[in-house]
Amino acid sequence: MTNRIYNFNPGPAALPLEVLQQIQEEFLDFGASGMSIVEVSHRSKWFDDVINDAVDRTKRLLGLDQRYHVVFCQGGASMQFCMVPMNFLSNGRKADYVNTGTWSTKAINEARIQGKDIRVAASSEDRNFSYIPADIEFDSQAAYVHITSNNTIKGTQWAEFPETGGVPLVADMSSDIFSRIIDVEKFGLIYAGAQKNIGPAGVCLVIVRRDMLDLIPEDLPTMLKYSTYVNKNSMFNTPPCFAIYTVQLVLKWLEEKIGGLGKMEAINRSKAELLYGLLDSSEFYRPTADQDSRSLMNVTFRLPTEELEQAFVAEALENGLGGLKGHRSVGGCRASIYNATSHKAVEVLVDFMRTFEKKHG
């Protein structure tokens, strides 16, 4: 096997090594079918077993009851930015949005493009999205409240989800789905592009509560209605079979190898504490997010100069540590420590950071 680096990419991101090895092992002959998973019919028993197992594991891991449907859509989370208001804001309904960064801003813009009645109930734009707003007053008549649970670019995350007075939460959980235990009772819909924490690019996991389906107007295009995916088990048309298969294997790894969300959360918190501990003890590195709003998934930080940041990223890669460049819109550095990024990887990163500081500080 070729040498593999420690992968801190923000998405597409690290996948569990044993999942990659299983894909490699059965790629030419999936389930004794004599075909690859990318060749089998999506109408076959082989793929039926894959998608149904992915749905079942999602429900078990998140503790979903019979009210919740699990479906797989294409178009990534960005498609959901328009699908959510399209499905839920007809007939004069309105919604509240909380703006905590780039992806929240995009979701707000997609709703406004359609002329939907939305209100930005809170925003952290005043301090460059470095914190999560608190004590928000929501509209009790809103159809939903939209949040981005974790902000990959700014390195912030909702530690506690907001109290909405019974209004359903709709959340973009692309970068922290399955990373911790959540109270699903608060949510009317959850969506997550797979390529950050649960699989490869090409599929978006959507969890929708049954009562939300009653809001969907009849005159939407078929492929833009959540009810189409629910009624056809995500197979109204050919789904992204390989991506769903990989998600299924990741969920199996999470459930059977890791032992569920409680254990995964403990691992994630330990990784984050190790990395933030170094940042807080250093005068060389500067974390960019407020301490009470810090992400467990995306650790963002700056160095004294942009030249040092460029050197940091380059030297890190030379030492087998990849993906540490900050998003192009903000610069700096970022370590994405998703579920599949091991504790060992973070330990190696912290050791490198100490060495780099001694050399350049």
Q: The pTM is what?
A: 0.97
Query: Residue ranges per domain, the chain?
Result: 18-258, 260-360
Options 3.90.550.10, 3.40.640.10, 3.60.15.10, 3.40.50.720; CATH of 18-258: 3.40.640.10
Q: Which CATH class is domain 260-360?
A: alpha beta
Residue 103 designated active-site: yes
Residue 196 designated active-site: yes
pLDDT for residue 6? 98
Catalytic residue among 172, 176, 253, 271: 172
Residue pLDDT, tens place only, 41-63: 999 999 999 999 999 999 999 99
What would the 3-class secondary structure string for the chain be?
CCCCCEECCCCCCCCCHHHHHHHHHHCCCHHHCCCCCCCCCCCCHHHHHHHHHHHHHHHHHHCCCCCEEEEEECCHHHHHHHHHHHHHCCCCCEEEEEECCHHHHHHHHHHHHCCCEEEEEEECHHHCCCCCCCCCCCCCCCCCEEEECEECCCCEECCCCCCCCCCCEEEECCCCCCCCCCCHHHEEEEEEECCCCCCCCCCEEEEEEHHHHHHCCCCCCHHHCHHHHHHCCCCCCCCCHHHHHHHHHHHHHHHHHHCCHHHHHHHHHHHHHHHHHHHHHCCCCEECCCHHHECCCEEEEECCCHHHHHHHHHHHHHCCEECCECCCCCCCEEEECCCCCCHHHHHHHHHHHHHHHHHHC
Catalytic residue among 116, 196, 225, 325: 196
Residue 157 pLDDT class (50, 70, 90 cuts): very high
pLDDT for residue 361? 85
Residue pLDDT, tens place only, 91-124: 999 999 999 999 999 999 999 999 999 999 999 9
Catalytic residue among 46, 103, 158, 253: 103
Residue 158 designated active-site: no
User: What average pLDDT score do residues 140-158 get?
Assistant: 98
